[in-house]
Chains A and B, each alone.
Chain A
């Protein structure tokens, strides 16, 4: 009895330790210190919930009954794990990008967010898992009873039901505390995962310890152990091929489909890269777990009395040898295996039950409106907690009803075959775009019907749920419908038989129905999202906003995600839309994001349904998709318009910049001009003053000198007059006060006149002309036009810097317009000056003295008056001007006047 007390105390201490670890990890994670909590090692260890009490105790029992066959249960998951690149990677990626909360959510989400499918999967998962939970309770009570049997000579009867009840209750409390801390099931349960990781270490250590004790303590070394195995009842390698292959495949399938495995592998996954380490570390864990199974079984069969339960060898071997400490460790290992499985299974199932059954029902009963008052968040949380309690109670109930008759491994395998029915829908959904909802539903229904008929119902014993006649002769006496020999396939063990028929018919029906039915648009969208998850962006679905009221959405999501988180989401979205401080527009993007965020709390189907209620649409029809497509087209059109506008704005901005540059230059020029003009005015003024003073004050001045000084004064006065004339001229031209003196002249005559006037004819400048085309009669103000020509020519004379300067003049007549090009062979005008040469006071070079920079400005004004223009042609080798004017200036001149 002392041992029993120590056992109880140790167990309690262990439970307290688990609570403490979970609590510490949660606190650390909340404070952001728990980086190591998300390490790949913890992830790998959390996968170890695959090894339940069924593994811990049952594997040895399995080995004691049928030799090496037990190992297939570990080979399947090993192959799945090392083949992570095929499937698990995709599952995890999809799970993360779609914020999947459970396997039911994944399947429903893939097949058009169908709640019917989610409910179906949930119910099947509950049916498949409840016996498994019962199995865990049974293993804890059995192991406890085993202790009692050995230690107790007091005659005190252990009440197994009571033990099971307290274990179930304790687990419910633990799971509720650490498994429903946050509503978002997609968030990590750090405390819980940490506790599971600790339990993983404990159970591995315990099993290894027992193994080492058995091999080196009891059997007397490795060789002796191998000899004992050779001598034992399980020495023969006679595992039927069908079972070896079948069970490997079955365990591989179950590994991917078990709700609890999905929970730790996909939902609790912190980082996709953790799979890398798990891909080899978890097989290593499984290998170590099964390392000593056969030795323990062989030695147990050898040492333990006939008829003792081989399922408990791990515990009874140390006990029978009086190793109480080791036995307690072993008990803790089994306890860990059982509890961690139950906890995770309960969380996984409760998420499914609350998201896919309770919440939809609640929404429906409250008038189908998500806009009701009250806190949905609270309801969801309560639903999840109640679901945990109910699931554990169901497990307890099953335990009470089934008693402890069936061998542990049998229940485990039955459960495996049940959940393996998810496999076709799961893999089909991930890899085949043609898979659809009807196919998945039909396949699942077929698979489960066969599973129930062939395996589940018969498992309760011949007289419980299925009459013996049916077992022997088949349903309605049709021998082909015998539950354990469908279509006459005898010779297979019931498990492999049921697995083969259920999964293959499931797959077949799934395939056929999928091929011959047409999916809804949303299924096709989701299908593309899932199958091409590595190529696509993470957006899913397609919401048409507009009718949705942002305020209603905010109210609803506050009640689901909590006020703070919802407000943060909304304000982020508003910021992204560029309307900071307001509610975001219900754009399809935003609705999609909101739906995914809510899916983390209540599952994809419910989130979809809730948003539909507010957006005012229950399903996505083809019309809606068309509308979405239209909208996309509109957006694209709009954005191209925007683009055009942007371009226009850019162009305007460019023009503005140019104008600004010009203005700045003009201002600079004006300043330069003012100093220039004052200089220009002062220089002649100074000399006029100086020479007039000389003339006045000098008494004896020769005639010659007098006339020289007087002519200087005269010349300077002329220069001044010319400058003032120019200014006046320009001002007159600009104010359109000019009176044109129109007359007829030939171009060649005008050019001749200008050449002489500009001093070009002195031989220093070579002028190339084309006499044959110059004979053009013009009716215009010939004096003004000549002024322009003279200006251009004298500019060329002044500025052309070529060694043998040349000016070519080429006239051309086109459509009543005369164009005369003047091009010299100098360096031309620098690009930065080209924009301003026609401005007043512009001078190409400050150093080269010349006029006041009015010539070209006057020319431009003159040409404008004459109805023509003067342009600088930048693409020429030297400076080139093009003067163009109409043959007859009459109309334009009249218009100008």
Chain B
């Protein structure tokens, strides 16, 4: 049951890999936030309110950004099976 003591400092590569995993964790939260943003936009009853088209374009742009970010992250997260994740819980 004894957990091996985690080293205080990591090789640059491992360190980078863990930060990429952190980014992968954050990405859906960021995406969720961005997708919620249109709810705060002006309601259409007011003059010059936001229309479906604007929201649609915004949603697709965010979507493409998320896909691109996920694609980059998925390549950068270390592939080794000795999983470098869960550093926070250690």
Interface residues of A (CB under 8 A from B): 67-68, 71, 75, 78-86, 226, 229-230, 234-238, 241, 244-245, 248, 273, 276-277, 279-281, 283-284, 287, 291, 294, 534
**B56 surroundings in chain A (CB, below 8 A):** 68, 71, 229, 294
Query: Are A273 and B79 interface neighbours, CB within 8 A?
Result: yes
B70 in complex: contacting residue of A235, A245, A279, CB < 8 Å: A279
Asked if B11 is at the interface of the complex by the 8 Å CB criterion, the answer is no
6 example contacts (A-B, Cβ-Cβ < 8 A) are as follows A68-B52, A79-B31, A85-B85, A287-B63, A287-B67, A534-B83
Asked if B5 is at the interface of the complex by the 8 Å CB criterion, the answer is no
Query: Are B51 and A237 interface neighbours, CB within 8 A?
Result: yes
A229 in complex: contacting residue of B53, B63, B73, CB < 8 Å: B53
Q: Which of B36-90 contact A (CB under 8 A)?
A: 36, 38-39, 41, 43-44, 49-56, 59-60, 63-64, 66-71, 73-75, 77, 79, 83, 85-86
Q: Which residue of B lies closest to A295 (CB)?
A: B56
CB distance from B62 to the nearest CB of A (A): 9
Query: Are B55 and A68 interface neighbours, CB within 8 A?
Result: yes
Q: Which residue of B lies closest to A63 (CB)?
A: B52
**A281 surroundings in chain B (CB, below 8 A):** 71
**Interface core residue of A79, A273, A534 (most chain B CB under 10 Å):** A79
Q: Which residue of A lies closest to B30 (CB)?
A: A82
A78→B30 CA distance, assembly (Å) = 12
Query: Majority SS of interface residues in chain A?
Result: helix
A291 in complex: contacting residue of B24, B25, B60, B74, CB < 8 Å: B60
A248 in complex: contacting residue of B35, B49, B60, B69, CB < 8 Å: B35
**A291 surroundings in chain B (CB, below 8 A):** 60
Query: Are A235 and B51 interface neighbours, CB within 8 A?
Result: yes
Count contacts on B: residues with CB < 8 A to the other chain.
41
A280 in contact with B71 given A71-B59, A237-B38 (CB within 8 Å): yes
A75 in contact with B35 given A83-B28, A85-B77 (CB within 8 Å): yes
A422→B74 CA distance, assembly (Å) = 28
**B77 surroundings in chain A (CB, below 8 A):** 85, 276
Asked if B7 is at the interface of the complex by the 8 Å CB criterion, the answer is no
Q: Which residue of B lies closest to A236 (CB)?
A: B44
**B29 surroundings in chain A (CB, below 8 A):** 83
**A229 surroundings in chain B (CB, below 8 A):** 51-53, 56
CB distance from A122 to the nearest CB of B (A): 30
Query: Are B52 and A234 interface neighbours, CB within 8 A?
Result: yes
A67 in contact with B52 given A79-B32, A83-B28 (CB within 8 Å): yes
A82 in contact with B63 given A75-B35, A276-B74 (CB within 8 Å): no
Query: Are A78 and B38 interface neighbours, CB within 8 A?
Result: no
**B24 surroundings in chain A (CB, below 8 A):** 82-85
A318→B42 CA distance, assembly (Å) = 36
Q: Which residue of B lies closest to A234 (CB)?
A: B52
**B86 surroundings in chain A (CB, below 8 A):** 534
Query: Are A80 and B28 interface neighbours, CB within 8 A?
Result: yes
A235 in complex: contacting residue of B52, B73, B74, CB < 8 Å: B52
CB distance from B46 to the nearest CB of A (A): 11
A294 in complex: contacting residue of B39, B41, B52, CB < 8 Å: B52
A280 in complex: contacting residue of B28, B43, B70, CB < 8 Å: B70
Q: Which residue of B lies closest to A232 (CB)?
A: B52
Query: Are B25 and A83 interface neighbours, CB within 8 A?
Result: yes
Q: Which residue of A lies closest to B45 (CB)?
A: A238
**A279 surroundings in chain B (CB, below 8 A):** 70, 73-74
Q: Which of B10-35 contact A (CB under 8 A)?
A: 21, 24-25, 27-29, 31-32, 35
CB distance from B78 to the nearest CB of A (A): 11
Q: Which residue of B lies closest to A273 (CB)?
A: B79
A237→B32 CA distance, assembly (Å) = 19
Query: Are B60 and A280 interface neighbours, CB within 8 A?
Result: no
A839→B86 CA distance, assembly (Å) = 67
Query: Are B67 and A284 interface neighbours, CB within 8 A?
Result: yes
Known A71-B59, A235-B52; 15 more pairs at CB < 8 Å: A68-B52, A79-B35, A82-B24, A226-B53, A229-B51, A235-B53, A238-B44, A245-B39, A273-B79, A276-B77, A277-B74, A279-B74, A280-B68, A287-B60, A534-B86
A534→B90 CA distance, assembly (Å) = 13
**B68 surroundings in chain A (CB, below 8 A):** 280
A281→B32 CA distance, assembly (Å) = 18
**A237 surroundings in chain B (CB, below 8 A):** 38, 41, 43-44, 49-52, 54-55
A245 in contact with B36 given A82-B70, A83-B27, A279-B70 (CB within 8 Å): yes
Query: Are A236 and B63 interface neighbours, CB within 8 A?
Result: no
CB distance from A339 to the nearest CB of B (A): 28
CB distance from B51 to the nearest CB of A (A): 5
Q: Which residue of A lies closest to B23 (CB)?
A: A85
A229→B55 CA distance, assembly (Å) = 12
Query: Are A280 and B51 interface neighbours, CB within 8 A?
Result: no
Q: Which residue of B lies closest to A85 (CB)?
A: B24
